[in-house]
């Protein structure tokens, strides 16, 4: 793709590094920004830079946060006896949008994937164990994507957590195998959480 300006080319190449954005889409975004007022473009640029420089990760659950501890962990109205384990903060957004869950979360920041060289030590598992030891957690809900890596991670966590006096459950299989939580409609996801199963039942397909 030929560009009449090196500035345009650099901007297009920058947008094209984003997931799901090809050169043509990137060019449309650049053209849109060129047509906006400089003030509006500056607002967008400032918001991106501020997010990247100031975003934090909750020291308790690893969710994205503006502060050291996220607003969910500090909310006194949340049920602190239940912790929902998710792969990333996008899954928290999806579950929160259902308005059918009032417990806490724990973000693993990935899944066990031997093919990709990702093992348990690279996930936020140790901090989860510390929370279970120190807090009054009675139930852990496995809300991981129904994929091979998701099932592998659930199997590993269930073995690690089996020595603790807690209830281990998993969201019901209303979500198709291979699907991702963030793309599931809110009603289906809400029903999957409400109809969660004991871990042993989940593994019997």
Range of the domain at 79: 69-203
What is the pLDDT, as a whole number, of residue 178?
44
Same domain, 97 and 163: yes
What is the pLDDT, as a whole number, of residue 133?
92
Token duo for residue 113:
């994937």
What is the pLDDT, as a whole number, of residue 170?
86
What is the pLDDT, as a whole number, of residue 1?
77
Which residues in the chain come in under a pLDDT of 70?
A: 172-188, 191, 194-195, 197, 199-205
Same domain, 107 and 196: yes
Same domain, 43 and 121: no
**Cα angle at 161 between 157 and 163, to 5 degrees?**
145
Mean residue pLDDT across the chain: 88
Same domain, 116 and 188: yes
Q: Buried b / exposed e across 78-88, counting CB within 10 Å, b at 16+?
A: beeebbbbbbb
pLDDT tens column, 106-119: 999 999 998 899 99
Same domain, 14 and 106: no
What is the pLDDT, as a whole number, of residue 171?
82
Distance CA 135, CA 98 (A): 26
Q: CA-CA distances (angstroms) from residue 187 to 94, 95, 109, 175, 184? A: 11, 10, 25, 11, 8
What is the pLDDT, as a whole number, of residue 182?
60
Residue 103 in any domain: the answer is yes
Same domain, 131 and 180: yes
Q: Is there a contact between 85 and 142 (Cβ–Cβ < 8 Å)?
A: yes
pTM surpassing 0.85? Answer: no
What is the pLDDT, as a whole number, of residue 205?
47
Phi, psi of 57 (to 5 degrees): -120, 130
Give the whole-number percent of the chain exceeding pLDDT 70: 86
E-assigned strand segments in 3-121: 56-57, 64-65, 79-86, 103-107
Same domain, 77 and 155: yes
**Position of tokens 């994929």?**
147
Structural domains counted in the chain: 2
């Amino acid at each position: 793709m030929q560009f009449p300006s090196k500035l345009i080319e650099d901007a297009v190449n920058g947008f094209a590094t984003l997931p799901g954005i090809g050169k043509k889409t990137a060019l449309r975004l650049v053209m849109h920004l060129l047509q906006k007022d400089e003030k509006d473009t500056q607002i967008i640029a400032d918001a991106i830079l501020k997010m990247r420089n100031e975003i934090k990760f909750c020291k308790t659950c690893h969710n994205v946060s503006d502060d050291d501890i996220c607003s969910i962990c500090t909310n006194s109205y949340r049920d602190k006896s239940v912790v929902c384990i998710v792969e990333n903060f996008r899954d928290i957004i999806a579950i929160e949008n259902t308005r059918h869950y009032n417990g806490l979360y724990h973000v693993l920041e990935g899944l066990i994937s031997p093919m990709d060289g990702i093992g348990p030590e690279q996930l936020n598992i140790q901090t989860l164990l510390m929370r279970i030891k120190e807090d009054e957690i009675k139930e852990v809900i496995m809300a991981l994507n129904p994929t091979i890596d998701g099932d592998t991670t659930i199997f590993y966590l269930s073995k690690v957590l089996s020595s603790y006096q807690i209830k281990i459950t998993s969201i019901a299989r209303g979500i198709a195998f291979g699907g991702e939580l963030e793309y599931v409609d809110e009603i289906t996801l809400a029903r999957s959480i409400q109809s969660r199963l004991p871990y042993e039942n989940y593994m019997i397909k």
